Structure 1
Amino acid sequence: MAERISDAEHAVMEVLWDQSPLTAQEVVERVDPSRGWSANTVKTLLGRLLAKSAVTAEEDGRRYLYRPAVEREDYVAGESQRLIDRLFGGKLTPLVAHLAERDKISDSDIAEIEALLKELKK
C-alpha cells in the first residue's frame, strides 16, 4: 500500500480488521455510530480504500465482499516508523525521552518496557 490512508479510512479499516469479509452494508452497521456517517459516506471510503489497494473486493452475487489487503500489524509498523522518522529523526530513544519528560509514562509502562528490553536482549 503506497498511499497513506486518512483517519476516516482508518476507521473503516478497523472494522474490516476486526471481521472480514463484509458487505458494504455490514461495514456501515459496524462503524462507530458516533461518527454519524451515512451509508454513502462509508461506501465512498471503501471506494477510496480500493483505489489505494488497502482493501480488496470480490463479487458475491449482486454485492461485493470487502477484506483488508494489508495486515493491521504491518500498517501499524509502517505508521509508527513514519512518525519516528518524521518527529524524531528515525530514533526511538528521543521518543521515549520525550514521553518520559512529559510524565506520560506510568510505572506499569516502565515495567512493560523493562520486560520487553530483557526479552530483546536474549
Structure 2
Amino acid sequence: MKISAAESVVMEALWRRGELTSEAIMAEVCELQGWTEGTVKVLISRLVKKKAVAVRAEGRRYHYSAALSREAYVGAESQGLLDRLFDGRLAPLVMHFSESDKLSDEDIAELKALVERIGK
C-alpha cells in the first residue's frame, strides 16, 4: 500500500495518539502543516479507502485509528527505497551516506555495534 507524504502526517498523529476523532486529528496537524479542515478530511478518507485507517462510529461521531502499524509502514517504505535506488541492497545506501559525509560519529558507532551484534 502506498501512503503519500501528506497521508503519513495523519498516520503519524494516529500512531502517536491512538484513536482520534477527525477534530482531534485536525488539531494535531492543521496548524503545523497549514492545512484546512477539508484537506485533512480528504486525507482521512483516502486512508480509510486504502484500509490504512480503521473507522468506528460512536453516535454521530467517527473515531479513527491506524489499521497499519508504523513498523509495517516503515518496513515497506524502507524496502521500497532500497529497491528503487540501491537494487535492494543496504550496503550501497550506507556507502552513499559515508561518501557524502552524512554519517555522524554516533551513527558510525551504532552501525559498528549493529554489525558486531549481527555477526554473533
Give TM-score, length-normalised by structure 2.
Answer: 0.96
Aligned position for 1:68: 66
Which amino acid in structure 2 is aligned with residue 43 of structure 1? K
Aligned length, in residue pairs? 120
Cα drift, residue 18 of structure 1: 0.3
Root-mean-square deviation (Å) = 1.0
- Identity value in percent: 49
Instruction: List gaps (5 residues or longer) in structure 1.
Output: none
Aligned position for 1:119: 117
Picking from 76, 92, 97, the partner of 1:99 is 97
Q: Measure, in 2, the Cα distance between the counterparts of 1:93 and 1:104.
A: 15
Q: Measure, in 2, the Cα distance between the counterparts of 1:72 and 1:21.
A: 14
Aligned position for 1:85: 83
Aligned position for 2:56: 58
Cα drift, residue 34 of structure 1: 3.3
Q: Measure, in 2, the Cα distance between the counterparts of 1:121 and 1:68.
A: 35
Cα drift, residue 106 of structure 1: 1.0
Q: Measure, in 1, the Cα distance between the counterparts of 2:91 and 2:34.
A: 39
Which amino acid in structure 1 is aligned with residue 110 of structure 2? E
Moved over 6 A (4+): none
Which amino acid in structure 1 is aligned with residue 18 of structure 2? S
Cα drift, residue 32 of structure 1: 5.6
Give TM-score, length-normalised by structure 1.
Answer: 0.94
Instruction: List gaps (5 residues or longer) in structure 2.
Output: none
